[in-house]
Amino acid sequence: MNPLHRRMGRVGSVIALIFGISVLVFLVLRVIPGNSIMTSFGTETAVLTPHQLAALEKFYGIHQSPVGQYVSWITSMMRGNFGYSAISGQSVLSLTLISLPVTIELALIATTVGSLLGISLGMLSASKPGAIRDFFSQATSILFLAIPAFVTASAIVVVMANVFGYFPNALDYAAPWQNPWLNFQQMMFPSFVLALTVAAPVMRTTRTSLLDMSSQDFIRTAEGKGLSRKRVLWRHLLPNSLLPVVTMTGMQFGYLLGGAIIVEQIFALPGIGRQVLTGIMQRDYSVVQSTTLVIAVMFVFVNLATDSLYRRIDPRIGKSESESRTKA
Amino acid sequence: MHSTRVGTGSDQVNSSPLLSVHNLEITLRTQKGSRRLVQEVSFDVAAGEAVAIVGESGSGKTLTALSIMGLINSRNLAQSDGSIYLGDLNLSELPDGQFRALRGSELAMIYQDPMTSLNPLMRIGKQLTEVFTIRGIAKDVAIAKSREALVGVGLPDPDRAMVSYPHEFSGGMRQRIMIALAMLLEPKLLIADEPTTALDVTIQQQILALVQVEQRRRNMGLIWITHDLGVVAQLVDRVIVMYNGRIVEVATTHDLFERPLHPYTEGLIGSIPKPQDSARKPLIAIPTATSAPPTQGCSFKPRCEYARDICGTQTPQLTQVNSRQVACFFPVQERS
Amino acid sequence: MKTITRRLAHGVNGIIGLSLLGVVLVLVVLDVTGLGMKDVLAQNGALSFHAPSSSHIFGTDQFGRDILSRSIAGLVNSLRIGLIAVAIASIIGTTLGILGGFVGGILDDAISRMSDLLFAFPAVLLALAIVSALGPGSFNTAIAIAIVYVPIFVRVARGPVLTLREREFVKAASLLGFSSRRVMRHHILPNLAAPVIVQISLSLSWAVLTESGLSFLGLGTQPPNPSLGLMVSEAQAFASTAWWTLLFPSIFIVLLVVTFNMLGDGLRDALDPSWNRE
């Protein structure tokens, strides 16, 4: 199978996956409360203009069989019709275009900070396995894992807002290009909370990886060459150990895109998770349906990108199977 | 200061030997207590001499080698007694930094598994030139010398090899690269820890021949560690046999094969199938040892067919017998 | 079996996990028997927002209810939901995984594809979507979490089955004429037990985390029934003055999560034969 075929195969399975996801979302949201959408259609759509109403009907594929409804939905999405919010009348596409960047910024900061923290703790822990610092690092990582994000977030809100009277998130959200300082202040607490949830698994992976790698032969070879401890660590041990961490970090980032819902809610960040949640609370099904699909598709793409990145970094992953091995 | 030396390949009486290991002891600390993995190990290697250390897994041969290189990193494993001298330099008391300077330049080691001995993420050229650049040698000089070394070990297309990654090479090729790497700074002593065990028989011969050529050319001391006697018969001048952490016999290759003194050695040599043996002759198998060395008595006793009571109560010491050494109360007599 | 329990009890993770499990079990017993528990639902305005005292060790909430008793009841509630969810997920997932791995072919493809599909969602989002479709409540939360965790059991069960199927001793057994079912029972299942058990414990800790998150959002156990996540959510409004309303339910959530996490790690250390300590 030549590289082109393989790439096409990969693209094909991704497309199949996305379609599968859309079917799943459709089934979960429509088949069960399907009737309620139809029955509420007349009463809850007062906000919409006639044009929007028509577009929404097309989105839902009203009066069609379930399969027809699914097809209508998919074709509408592909044409850019993500539906309209029955509550506010805004198009879901425009809502998403505003909310997605917020979550991306949050996820980026949280993942970066969390990974750095996790890697540092992992390195600290692995430097003297079994010692006190190892014990404390691991205990810390378990706490990060076990204390739910919403607990940490609530605690911060209580302390900051009520005790210190400092709560930047009470103000309207400021995008980084509007007001960088305010944006930073609004992002710092939620991204800190999320960074903790990222740090825990990253720390574990780093620690395990480092310990496994240390006993590998090539480390002995490196030392046998007369390299200093520092050089062995930074040039040989760390690069090899961090490979699995790259994958883990990518996964965490993808997860945060859809998993930051609760934190976004607590800190009133208008991200895509909050969009879904609000949609659910308000029974705004078109919002929920489209947004969920968008999040899931993004998750798939992030995983793909992480995979690609990993292939780039690790020279062992066959770029081309045609690369011949020189025989002895 | 140094142990009595058994006849070395070259008769150097005045200067100190290249390597002198004296009463080496390595202890492992576990939750259940301490265990001596290597004890009372003493031997010398002269400049230009090739010596084999033979033993099965668990005999302590690799640990001894790592001790010489100073590469025992574990918290629970450490040299607990004895000293190792490189020329007049006491390695055991050398500070880390100075010891490190010796590695690669005076002492070098190659390992058993070529598949895992090289950094998979670094190009071969970089791994070679690194040896030079950390010592302040200019990059272009480093590159030239590395390339030359690859040519020297018979790698086709050395320019391509320099920019390739380890996984692009087969086991035999990687081992050649390891040899080139070890030879870069022309060390005085090379330790080869079972470098051919993981390779095909035909490749084994090639690697062996390569190491022999290099050793002779540079008049380098060589310690070849193996569990397979047959492999090294042609390569080394002297053989040191280890069992369960101790040296049990030392002799020249010729003497050892002609008349092994220690029952263990006898078993080892006897178990090598020879082409002229009848096909029906049973393969002699030596049952493996699994227990820690006893506090007193010979550890080989459970497997020894000549054992008597004293073997269980007193530990045999390595004693001189003519130009050889053996640690046994009842060394094997002349075979009928 | 005995060696496993011994190794479990000797590893650090195992020790902590088992001790905490002991604490959890004591609390469960308290709730079940009603020993020392005050009425969880009765409201008494006069008692509201009492700080921790000898009569109310964890203090009282906005309705005068004893927080200790509510927390214990909430803990049992979360545990129950988690257990139901993980039981369903593990039974369905393991069965599917074994079937897929053993039978192979189209069935295996279909099962793998479906589980990949479920994996393509961030867990919280999927659980949220399912609960929103089914409606809030304890049982629906358990169902939602169960669905989210089926794929991981499929994966955990399928892997060993695939490797084992190719191993000599299994092939030998088949060649000797043992029925597939017997091969499965005697050779494959015992080797599966370890990873599945470990996963059960770990999934339980995640299930509790997810359940409390959903309850926090109001989609889980409904008031006035006690639920740890819900208690934390309600406490947000009062915690600046009544810190105990936030602290104690949070501690119980952490207790549950840490217990099953450490237990899972300890089990993994004890059951994995290749895990050697230096």
Average pLDDT estimate for B155-162: 91
* pLDDT of C204 above 90: yes
* pLDDT of B290 above 60: no
Predicted model pTM: 0.82
Confidence of residue A35 (pLDDT cuts 50, 70, 90): low
Nearest chain C alpha carbon to B29: C278
Averaging pLDDT over each range in A194-198, B97-101, B318-322, which range is the top one? A194-198
- 3-state DSSP assignment of residue B331: coil
Number of residues in chain B = 336
Beta carbons of C120 and A158 less than 8 Å apart: no
pLDDT of residue B6: 47
Sheet holding B33-45, edge to edge: B33-45, B19-30, B77-86, B89-90
CA separation for the pair C145, C125 (Å, rounded): 11
Q: Smallest Cα–Cα separation from C200: which of C256, C141, C263, C254?
A: C263
Q: Which residues contact A79 (CB under 8 A, 6 or more apart)?
A: none
Confidence of residue A180 (pLDDT cuts 50, 70, 90): confident
* Among the partner residues A33, A147, A148, nearest to C213 by beta-carbon distance: A148
Spatial contact of C78 and C253, defined as CB atoms under 8 Å apart: yes
Interface B–C counts its CB contacts (< 8 A) at: 4
Cis-peptide into B17, omega within 30 deg: no
Q: Which has more confidence, C8 or A151?
A: A151
Q: Which has more confidence, C2 or B216?
A: B216
pLDDT of residue B233: 81
| A162 contact C CB<8A | yes
pLDDT of residue A47: 72
pLDDT of residue A53: 77
ipTM for this model = 0.83
Which residues of B fall within a CB distance of 8 Å from C277?
31
Which residues of B fall within a CB distance of 8 Å from C278?
30, 74, 76
Q: Which has more confidence, C189 or B145?
A: B145
pLDDT of A75-115, one tens digit each? 888 888 888 887 787 888 888 999 999 999 999 999 999 99
Nearest chain A alpha carbon to B171: A328
Averaging pLDDT over each range in A304-318, B172-186, C176-190, which range is the top one? B172-186
Q: Which has more confidence, C1 or B126?
A: B126
pLDDT of residue C82: 94
- Angle, alpha carbons B144-B148-B149 (nearest 5°): 120
CA separation for the pair B289, B243 (Å, rounded): 9
Beta carbons of B165 and A315 less than 8 Å apart: yes
Which residues of C fall within a CB distance of 8 Å from A28?
129-130, 133
CA separation for the pair A279, C217 (Å, rounded): 13
- 3-state DSSP assignment of residue A234: helix
Chains contacting chain C through 3 or more C-beta pairs under 8 A:
A, B
CA separation for the pair C145, C89 (Å, rounded): 8
Which residues of C fall within a CB distance of 8 Å from A280?
128-129, 132, 219
CA separation for the pair B261, B250 (Å, rounded): 9
Q: Burial level of C58, CB count in 10 A (0-12/13-18/19+)? A: buried
The letter for the amino acid at C274 is S
Average pLDDT estimate for B322-326: 84
Out of A67-81, A116-130, B101-115, least confident range: A67-81
pLDDT of residue C275: 42
Out of A214-218, A223-227, A319-323, C159-163, least confident range: A319-323
Chains contacting chain A through 3 or more C-beta pairs under 8 A:
B, C
Q: Which fold has domain C2-29+66-270?
A: MetI-like fold (1.10.3720)
Which residues of A fall within a CB distance of 8 Å from C232?
150-151, 154
Return the H-helix or E-strand segment holding A237: none
Confidence of residue B12 (pLDDT cuts 50, 70, 90): very low
DSSP letter for each residue of A172-196: PP--TTT-HHHHHHHHHHHHHHHHH
pLDDT of residue B336: 38
Tokens 């994995």 sit on residue: C272
Beta carbons of C216 and A262 less than 8 Å apart: yes
Average pLDDT estimate for B90-103: 87
The letter for the amino acid at B115 is M
- Domain segments of chain C: what residues? 2-29+66-270
pLDDT of C244-254, one tens digit each? 888 889 999 99
Which residues of B fall within a CB distance of 8 Å from A209?
none
* pLDDT of A160 above 80: yes
pLDDT of residue A120: 93
DSSP letter for each residue of B99-161: HHHHBTTTEEEE-S-TTTSS-TTS-HHHHHHHHHHTTT--HHHHHHHHHHHHHHTT-SSHHHH
Q: Which has more confidence, B82 or A46?
A: B82
Q: Burial level of B334, CB count in 10 A (0-12/13-18/19+)? A: exposed
pLDDT of residue B4: 44
* Min Cα separation B121/chain A (Å): 7
Confidence of residue C276 (pLDDT cuts 50, 70, 90): very low
pLDDT of A12-31, one tens digit each? 888 888 888 888 888 877 76
pLDDT of residue A31: 61
Confidence of residue A39 (pLDDT cuts 50, 70, 90): low
CB atoms within 10 A of CB B170: 17
Confidence of residue B296 (pLDDT cuts 50, 70, 90): confident
End-to-end, the C-alpha distance of chain A in Å comes to 27
* pLDDT of C270 above 60: yes
pLDDT of residue A117: 94
Which residues of B fall within a CB distance of 8 Å from C7?
none
Which residues of A fall within a CB distance of 8 Å from C257?
145-146, 148
Give residue ranges of C with CB < 8 Å to any A CB. 113, 116-118, 120-125, 128-130, 132-134, 205, 209, 212-213, 216-217, 219, 229, 232-233, 235-236, 239-240, 243, 246, 250, 253-254, 257-258, 261-262
Nearest chain A alpha carbon to C123: A259
Q: Choose from A241, A326, A327 for mutation: most chain B CBs within 10 A.
A: A326
Spatial contact of B331 and B311, defined as CB atoms under 8 Å apart: no
- 3-state DSSP assignment of residue A157: helix
pLDDT of C44-102, one tens digit each? 777 777 777 777 777 877 777 888 888 888 999 999 999 999 999 999 999 898 888 87
- 3-state DSSP assignment of residue B261: coil
pLDDT of residue B289: 52
Confidence of residue C184 (pLDDT cuts 50, 70, 90): low
Q: Which residues of A9-37 are buried (b: 16+ CB within 10 A; e: fewer)?
A: eeeeeeeebbebbbebbbebbbeebeeeb
